[in-house]
């Protein structure tokens, strides 16, 4: 079948990718280090921090779709999505600095301050995440080109994750949280700025001028593949306690938070390689098979890692890299699946709702990280972990290990069954839908 649409320039694609470097430096700092910062540095209890994560996500359940609808309804003069991205490029790094700032306040002050700053940060992250993924659908209407663009974004996100995983533990150990966050947020802002100048929105779609609460719900709940994919995604991310617990594992089980640098270094190759080869793998095998094989292999290596333990550190690192390859493969295609769901929704309902649909992606990401973060903290607290202690009990260390290695398997199994049995949307289906809807869009000259 002949492809439709326009090709983007390398400068555009690289600028789009660079923006993800900055965004994911911010995101990885929050999901990887905010919990341990609040428990071990600020002195909040694990129960307070876990509750904070969950309360913020309850607000997001209302807030994210509303912000998505606002993005859908807005018609800025200089593009539909870029004005939002340009604004948060400056604001979000500053908000992250405040999120990691220790004012040495009282217990009540700290609880109130971090509730406010974390909820505000979450709203700003939504305003960054919805437009940046939706932007790919207006840069080109060629499905292969979109896969390439979003894969570049995922490559950049992987690089950012690697930077945070390798540099942040060393920075924190030697410079402290405040200096670390200022330096990293400065880097994040600089990498996000080029998109403002080099990326262009080309494809304009006919849209409904009225977006109601009813239409928002319809956009989500009439899109069965959106629900299936993000049901699977939430199952994975809500049990991915390893993200939150990794700094605790390095600090207490291995004796030095800086050792997390070595753990992340073993994941550097898959983080860089997988996004590069994702377009080829999608064309060769299809997204569905990659998703299933990735999850299946991650389950296998996670079980082996738990049984082997971490006393043989070299073997632990190898198994950690192997299970990460399987896990990263489907996770890196999140934006690609979302773009397909946009086309499916437009085809079945006659209305394009990129903002609302990509808000589900953003909400699912934040919901999963919040649940997994809270689950990890509640779990190790039940095993006797005390953040202000100088040493941890053997039981607490065992709780950290189980949270790192075993709990994530539960979500992987749920996703394997849900996605494997019910997700049937193929690349050919999406191409056919785009072609049939070609008359419903105009191309901006």
Q: pLDDT digit string (tens) for 412-433?
A: 999 999 999 999 988 888 888 8
Element (H, E) at 352: none
Q: Name the average pLDDT for the chain.
A: 83
- In whole angstroms, what is the distance from residue 12 CA to residue 82 CA? 13
Given pLDDT bands bounded at 50, 70 and 90, which one contains residue 214? low
What is the per-residue pLDDT for 441? 52
Contact 333, 282 (CB under 8 A): yes
- Ranking 267-276, 319-328, 367-376, 418-427 by mean pLDDT, the lowest is 267-276
Summarised one tens digit per residue, pLDDT across range 298-338 is 999 999 999 999 999 999 999 988 888 888 777 777 777 88
Given pLDDT bands bounded at 50, 70 and 90, which one contains residue 401? very high
429-436 long-range CB contacts below 8 Å, 24 or more apart? Answer: 429/344, 430/143, 430/340, 430/343, 430/344, 431/1, 431/3, 431/143, 432/1, 433/343, 433/344, 433/346, 433/347, 434/4, 434/141, 434/143, 434/343, 435/1, 435/4, 436/347
Residue written as token pair 């749920």: 414
pTM above 0.85, yes or no: no
- In whole angstroms, what is the distance from residue 72 CA to residue 219 CA? 12
What is the per-residue pLDDT for 212? 57
Residue 2 has pLDDT above 60, yes or no: no
What is the per-residue pLDDT for 199? 87
- In whole angstroms, what is the distance from residue 392 CA to residue 387 CA? 9
Reduced to 3 DSSP states, what percent helix, strand and coil does the chain have, rounded to the nearest 5? 80, 0, 20
Residue 382 has pLDDT above 80, yes or no: yes
- Ranking 17-21, 73-77, 383-387 by mean pLDDT, the lowest is 73-77
What is the per-residue pLDDT for 181? 95
Measured between alpha carbons, how far apart are the two ends of the chain, in Å?
Answer: 25
Summarised one tens digit per residue, pLDDT across range 81-135 is 888 888 899 999 999 999 999 999 898 999 999 999 999 998 888 888 778 877 8
Specify the CATH superfamily of domain 10-197+215-443: MFS general substrate transporter like domains (1.20.1250.20)
Domain ranges within the chain, ordered by starting residue: 10-197+215-443
Summarised one tens digit per residue, pLDDT across range 155-182 is 787 778 777 878 888 898 889 999 999 9
CA 353 from centroid of its chain's CA atoms: 20
Residue 210 has pLDDT above 60, yes or no: no
Q: Mapped to the 3 state alphabet, what secondary structure does 387-428 carry?
A: CCCCCCCHHHHHHHHHHHHCHHHHHHHHHHHHHHHHCCCCHH
- In whole angstroms, what is the distance from residue 63 CA to residue 360 CA? 11
Given pLDDT bands bounded at 50, 70 and 90, which one contains residue 1? very low
Contacting residues for 390 by C-beta, under 8 A, at least 6 apart? none
Residue 439 has pLDDT above 60, yes or no: no
């Amino acid at each position: 079948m002949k492809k439709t649409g326009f090709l983007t320039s390398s400068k555009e694609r690289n600028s789009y990718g660079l923006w993800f470097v900055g965004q994911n430096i911010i995101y990885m700092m929050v999901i990887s280090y905010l919990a341990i910062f609040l428990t071990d540095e600020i002195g909040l209890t694990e129960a307070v921090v876990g509750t904070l994560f969950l309360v913020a996500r309850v607000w997001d359940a209302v807030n994210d779709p509303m912000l998505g609808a606002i993005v859908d309804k807005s018609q800025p003069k200089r593009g539909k999505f870029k004005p939002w991205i340009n604004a948060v490029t400056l604001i979000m790094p500053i908000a992250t600095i405040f999120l990691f700032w220790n004012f040495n306040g009282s217990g009540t002050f700290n609880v109130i301050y971090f509730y406010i700053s974390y909820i505000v940060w979450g709203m700003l992250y939504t305003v960054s995440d919805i437009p940046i993924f939706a932007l790919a659908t207006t840069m080109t209407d060629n499905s292969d080109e979109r896969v390439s663009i979003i894969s570049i974004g995922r490559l950049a996100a992987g690089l950012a994750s690697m930077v945070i995983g390798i540099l942040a533990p060393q920075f924190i150990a030697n410079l402290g949280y405040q200096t670390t966050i200022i330096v990293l947020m400065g880097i994040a802002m600089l990498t996000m700025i080029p998109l403002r100048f080099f990326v262009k929105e080309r494809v304009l779609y006919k849209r409904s001028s009225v977006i109601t609460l009813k239409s928002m719900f319809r956009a989500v709940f009439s899109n069965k593949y959106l629900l299936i994919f993000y049901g699977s995604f939430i199952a994975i991310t809500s049990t991915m306690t390893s993200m939150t617990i990794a700094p605790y594992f390095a600090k207490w089980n291995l004796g030095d938070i800086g050792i997390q640098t070595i753990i992340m270094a073993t994941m550097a190759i898959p983080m860089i390689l997988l996004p590069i080869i994702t377009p080829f793998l999608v064309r060769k095998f299809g997204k569905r098979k990659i998703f299933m094989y990735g999850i299946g292999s991650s389950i296998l290596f996670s079980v082996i890692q738990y049984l082997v333990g971490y006393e043989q550190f070299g073997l632990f690192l190898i198994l950690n890299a192997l299970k990460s390859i399987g896990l990263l493969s489907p996770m890196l295609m999140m934006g690609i699946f979302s773009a397909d769901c946009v086309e499916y929704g437009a085809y079945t309902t006659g209305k394009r709702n990129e903002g609302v649909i990509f808000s589900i992606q953003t909400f699912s990401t934040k919901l999963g990280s919040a649940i997994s973060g809270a689950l990890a903290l509640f779990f190790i607290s039940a095993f006797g972990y005390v953040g202000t202690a100088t040493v941890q009990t053997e039981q607490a260390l065992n709780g950290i290990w189980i949270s790192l290695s075993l709990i994530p398997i539960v979500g992987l199994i749920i996703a394997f069954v849900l996605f494997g049995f019910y997700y049937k949307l193929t690349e050919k289906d999406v191409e056919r839908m785009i072609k049939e809807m070609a008359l419903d869009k105009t191309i901006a000259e």
